[in-house]
Amino acid sequence: MMKSLQIEEYGKIDEVTQLVETDLPEPESNQVVVQLLASPIHPSNVMLIKGEYVQVKFPHKLGTEGLGKVTKVGTDVDNLSVGDVVLLPGGKPAWQTEMLANANQLHALPVKDKDMMLQLAMTSINPPTAYLMLHNFVDLEEGDWVIQNAANSAVGRYLIQFAHNMGVKTINVVRRAELKEELKAIGADAVVVDGDNLAQQVKEIVGDGKVRLGIDAVAGEASSRLLSCLSKGATMVVYGSMSLQPIKIQLGPLLANEAVITSFWLSKWYRETDPSEIMPLLQKISKMILEGKLSTKISKTFSLDQYKEALNYADSEAKGGKVLFTNFD
For the chain, which domains are there? Answer: 2-122+296-326 (3.90.180.10), 126-267 (3.40.50.720)
Q: Residue 186 gets which letter from DSSP?
A: T
Whether 240 has a pLDDT exceeding 80, the answer reads yes
β-bridge partners, 100: 33
pLDDT band with cut points at 50, 70 and 90 for residue 142: very high
The answer to whether residues 89 and 145 touch, using CB atoms and an 8 Å cutoff, is: no
Q: Note the Cα 188 to chain centre separation in Å.
A: 18
Predicted pLDDT of residue 180: 96
**Sheet hosting strand 169-174, strand order edge to edge:** 190-193, 169-174, 145-148, 211-216, 235-238, 260-263
* CB neighbour list of residue 171: distance below 8 Å, 6 or more residues apart: 145, 146, 147, 148, 189, 190, 191, 192, 202, 205, 206, 211, 229
Higher pLDDT, 319 or 198: 198
Q: What is the pLDDT of residues 47-85, one digit of tens each?
A: 999 999 999 999 999 999 999 999 999 999 999 999 999
Instruction: Say how far apart CA 12 and CA 324 lie, in whole Å.
Output: 19
Q: Residue 304 gets which letter from DSSP?
A: G
Q: What is the mean pLDDT of residues 176-180?
A: 95
* The CA-based dihedral angle spanning residues 259, 235, 266, 68, taken in that order and rounded to the nearest 10 degrees: -150
Catalytic residue among 53, 131, 307, 313: 53
User: Is 53 a residue of the active site?
Assistant: yes
Main-chain dihedrals φ then ψ at residue 253, nearest 5 degrees = -60, -35
Instruction: Provide, rounded to the nearest whole percent, the portion of the chain with pLDDT above 90.
Output: 94
Predicted pLDDT of residue 329: 78
Whether 318 has a pLDDT exceeding 80, the answer reads no
pLDDT band with cut points at 50, 70 and 90 for residue 140: very high
Predicted pLDDT of residue 191: 98
32 closest CA partner among 121, 118, 124, 104: 104
Q: What is the pLDDT of residues 253-305, one digit of tens each?
A: 888 889 999 999 999 999 999 989 999 999 999 999 999 999 999 999 999 99
Cα angle 214, 126, 245 (rounded to 5 degrees) comes to 55
The answer to whether residues 325 and 39 touch, using CB atoms and an 8 Å cutoff, is: yes
**CA–CA distance from 291 to each of 65, 138, 161, 162, 281 (Å)?**
21, 27, 13, 14, 15
Predicted pLDDT of residue 36: 98
Q: Hey, what amino acid is at 204?
A: E
- Rounded to two decimals, what is the model's pTM? 0.95
Instruction: Say how far apart CA 85 and CA 117 lie, in whole Å.
Output: 9
Instruction: Say how far apart CA 264 and CA 126 lie, in whole Å.
Output: 12
- Most distant pair of Cα atoms in the chain: their distance: 65
Instruction: Say how far apart CA 104 and CA 119 lie, in whole Å.
Output: 23
